[in-house]
Structure 1
Amino acid sequence: MRQKENAQILKLPLDQLQFLQQCAGFESKVATLYHHYANIFADDESLSMLFKKTAVEEENHAQQFHLAIRLQGTGMEAVKIDVTKASANLKKLEEIVERLTGTTPFPEDALDMAIRLEEQVALLHMSNVVHFQDAGLKQLFEAMMAHDNGHVTMLKDYREVIRMGKSAMEFC
């Protein structure tokens, strides 16, 4: 009986679960944008693969939020951020992503946008949003995040390659 009472205490309130759902939806929209970029840059295999890899990582982030929602907050103490403010900011970012999906930017512009987007939403990843009560659950989510961290660095590195290529062409 005591275990059942503890599980009830550790569940997140509905507004926080709804915020996690919003985060999952946003991650899915970002993945869709990156798949779009992978398709429009299909003639540059390296760039296309980078966007595909990043899209899959965003899909993984969405799945982490879906897992937390399925757990209904069990093992989690609270959402660490102001849900109302973060939700409003997330809505603005969703609108930007929706506008970008379907556009055909230059490769460097797509990389710049992806980098800015990733830097802005890094704080909304599962391990940063939720305060875990259960140490094992916290380790699980941190391990999932560690598996795919580093895509911002890869995006920046590829952008630098493009910039260097443009510079080299200007000297010819």
Structure 2
Amino acid sequence: MDPVSATYIEELRTSHFGEMVGDLLFRRLCDRYPEHSRKLRELARLEASVGGLMEAVLERHRAEAEPTERVEALTHQLFDDLGDADWDAFLVRLRDVVVPFVERFERLHDESPAEDRSALRILRDHERALLRFLNAEIQREDGLRQIEVVLAELTEVRPTGRQG
């Protein structure tokens, strides 16, 4: 394996961190939006699965993940920041957060070494699917199919990543 830059490792750590925050946040939001809890559980499952894949990439590079305390602290802050936002407002706010990550993960994938390319393709594709989900839900369409496609793909590649 060729050496990679410190910037690349930091991008991996940040990506993993974001997946872990997403997992925890979506699980916590099930209580706030019970009528959408099935969708939120699937989003949490997606984030946790991609997070597990990213954890395997971090391990391959002998890089440490962010501490759990940081994940919990940011999740708590994001949850509180939502205040009493209804589902539609939540979707719009989340879309605003996701858009830059789509571009960021595309760049990370394109710049990744060959041994990371498969995992980073899934990272990129899951964020694209999340954006499609949000756009569909904002238009009052069912966006869950977008997520199910990536989850099915993750099931196929799971043996090369962490079991979750």
Give TM-score scaled by structure 1 length. 0.58
Aligned with 1:151: secondary structure?
helix
Structure 1 stretches of at least 4 aligned residues deviating more than 6 Å after TM superposition = none
Give, in angstroms, the shift of residue 58 of structure 1. Answer: 2.0
Alignment correspondent of 1:129: 108
Give, in angstroms, the shift of residue 48 of structure 1. Answer: 1.9
Does the alignment pair 1:20 with 2:3? Answer: no
Does the alignment pair 1:49 with 2:43? Answer: no
Residue 15 of structure 2 aligns to which amino acid in structure 1? C
Query: Residues 147, 129 of structure 1: CA spacing in aligned structure 2 closer, same or farther, 3 A cutoff?
Result: closer
Query: Residues 128, 52 of structure 1: CA spacing in aligned structure 2 closer, same or farther, 3 A cutoff?
Result: farther
Structure 2 residue aligned with 1:120, among 100, 105, 108? 100
Distance, in Å, in 1 between the alignment partners of 2:61 and 2:26 is 29
Matched ranges for 1:96-111 at <5 A: 98-102=76-80, 103-111=83-91
Distance, in Å, in 2 between the alignment partners of 1:148 and 1:24 is 13
Give, in angstroms, the shift of residue 18 of structure 1. Answer: 3.5
Distance, in Å, in 1 between the alignment partners of 2:107 and 2:78 is 26
Structure 1 residue aligned with 2:133, among 154, 167, 170? 154
Give, in angstroms, the shift of residue 149 of structure 1. Answer: 4.5
Aligned with 2:139: secondary structure?
helix
Residue 49 of structure 1 aligns to which amino acid in structure 2? R
Moved more, 143-152 or 109-118: 143-152
Tell me if the contact between 1:38 and 1:51 (Cα under 8 Å) persists in the aligned partners.
yes
Distance, in Å, in 1 between the alignment partners of 2:98 and 2:136 is 14
Distance, in Å, in 1 between the alignment partners of 2:76 and 2:107 is 24
Matched ranges for 1:25-44 at <5 A: 25-42=17-34, 44=35
Give TM-score scaled by structure 2 length. 0.61
Alignment correspondent of 1:77: none
Query: Residues 137, 65 of structure 1: CA spacing in aligned structure 2 closer, same or farther, 3 A cutoff?
Result: closer
Residue 32 of structure 1 aligns to which amino acid in structure 2? L
Distance, in Å, in 1 between the alignment partners of 2:44 and 2:17 is 13
Tell me if the contact between 1:39 and 1:48 (Cα under 8 Å) persists in the aligned partners.
yes
Distance, in Å, in 1 between the alignment partners of 2:132 and 2:42 is 13
Tell me if the contact between 1:31 and 1:59 (Cα under 8 Å) persists in the aligned partners.
yes
Residue 23 of structure 1 aligns to which amino acid in structure 2? S
Over the aligned positions, Cα root-mean-square deviation in angstroms equals: 3.0
Alignment correspondent of 1:78: none
Tell me if the contact between 1:111 and 1:155 (Cα under 8 Å) persists in the aligned partners.
yes
Identical aligned residues as a percent: 8
Give, in angstroms, the shift of residue 108 of structure 1. Answer: 0.7
Aligned length: 128
Give, in angstroms, the shift of residue 116 of structure 1. Answer: 1.4
Distance, in Å, in 2 between the alignment partners of 1:150 and 1:119 is 11
Alignment correspondent of 1:68: 57
Distance, in Å, in 1 between the alignment partners of 2:16 and 2:53 is 8
